[in-house]
Amino acid sequence: MPRFMGRRKFGPQAGPWTDDEWCGWWGDEPPFETTVFVMTHYPRPTIDFANGTSFHFVDGAPEEVLALAREAAGGKDVRIGGGPTTVREFLSAGLVDVMQVVLVPLVLGRGVSLWEGLEGLEDGDDVESIPSATTGVMHLIFRRKA
- Condensed to tens digits (0 to 9), the pLDDT of residues 108-124 reads 777 788 888 888 888 88
CA atoms of 74 and 89, how far apart (whole Å): 23
Tell which CATH classification among 3.40.430.10, 3.40.50.360, 3.30.420.40, 3.40.50.300 matches the domain 1-79.
3.40.430.10
- Condensed to tens digits (0 to 9), the pLDDT of residues 64-105 reads 999 999 999 998 899 988 788 888 899 999 999 999 988 887
CA atoms of 12 and 70, how far apart (whole Å): 27
Higher per-residue confidence, 85 vs 51: 51
- Average pLDDT, stretch 37-52? 94
The helix/strand/coil state of 111 is: coil
Q: Record the pTM.
A: 0.83
Q: For the chain, which residues make up each domain, given as ranges?
A: 1-79, 97-146
| 47-48 vs 54-58, strand pairing mode | antiparallel
46 has a pLDDT exceeding 90: yes
